[in-house]
Amino acid sequence: MSPVLVSTGHVTCISLSKLGWERFLELARSGGWEPAGTLPPIGWEGGEWDGSDYTSGRGQIVSDEDAKQMAAAMTHALADIPDELQTDDPEVRAMHNAFSGATPGEEIMADMLGIGDDDDGADTAHSLLLDIYTRQSLQEFFSGHRGWAKSYINFIRRGRFDIWASMEDIPNGRLGKDWSLIFTL
């Protein structure tokens, strides 16, 4: 799953990794955000809705007020994170250097780690990438990446948005004809 956040009123969307979205939620909570709970997707007919769900990507809606509080908390937490990468972990530093100015992907990771072109190379790279990402503290994860973090926060600050598992899960007509994908990580 690569979550896609769709801005309800601005016909734009952003896409990021599942782990990236989870780390943004963690950043918001560390900045004092108290989730108000999501609303069910438009047309929901699946029974009672679990409003605590911010990660399944079923089209759940984050309200205008909740999004703005989330963005404010993220901004507050990000203020304590330095612009320069803060880590002593050589793999984290190597990954950061490889991805600076590039979109992370299994092929880049495979090249960086010297994994061959066999069928398991991308899976191995993905597993190593997840291992490196998950062992990072919030400070390590966001330090050196404040610019793209601010781009996501600015998107969330706009207000109400939907959370979808992928671009393919967004219903036909939901984006209209003039939508754009504004950022991918």
Residues 37 and 73 in one domain: yes
Backbone angles phi, psi at 62, to 5 degrees: -95, 125
Residues 8 and 73 in one domain: yes
Q: 168, 142, 149, 184: which is closest to 13 by C-alpha?
A: 184
Q: Write b or e for each residue in 117-148: b if 16 or more Cβ atoms lie within 10 A of its Cβ, otherwise e.
A: eeeebbebbeebbeebbeebebebbbbbbbee
Residues 78 and 160 in one domain: yes
* Range of the structural domain that residue 117 is part of: 90-135
Residues 31 and 99 in one domain: no
Give CA–CA dist 10/115, Å, rounded.
Answer: 41
Q: What is the pTM of this model?
A: 0.75
The verdict on residue 142 lying in a domain is no
Residues 175 and 94 in one domain: no
Whole-number pLDDT of residue 124: 60
Whole-number pLDDT of residue 9: 60
Residues 17 and 97 in one domain: no
Whole-number pLDDT of residue 123: 59
The verdict on residue 144 lying in a domain is no
Q: 49, 47, 51: which is closest to 37 by C-alpha?
A: 51
Sheet of 180-184: strand order equals: 58-62, 161-164, 4-7, 12-15, 180-184
Whole-number pLDDT of residue 12: 65
Residues 126 and 175 in one domain: no
Q: 157, 183, 158, 163: which is closest to 75 by C-alpha?
A: 157
Residues 108 and 166 in one domain: no
Q: What is the mean pLDDT of the chain?
A: 76
> Looking at per-residue confidence, does 123 or 169 come out higher?
169
Residues 76 and 94 in one domain: no
How many domains does the chain contain in total? 2
Residues 64 and 8 in one domain: yes
Residues 12 and 64 in one domain: yes
**pLDDT above 90 for 75:** yes
The verdict on residue 148 lying in a domain is no
The verdict on residue 38 lying in a domain is yes
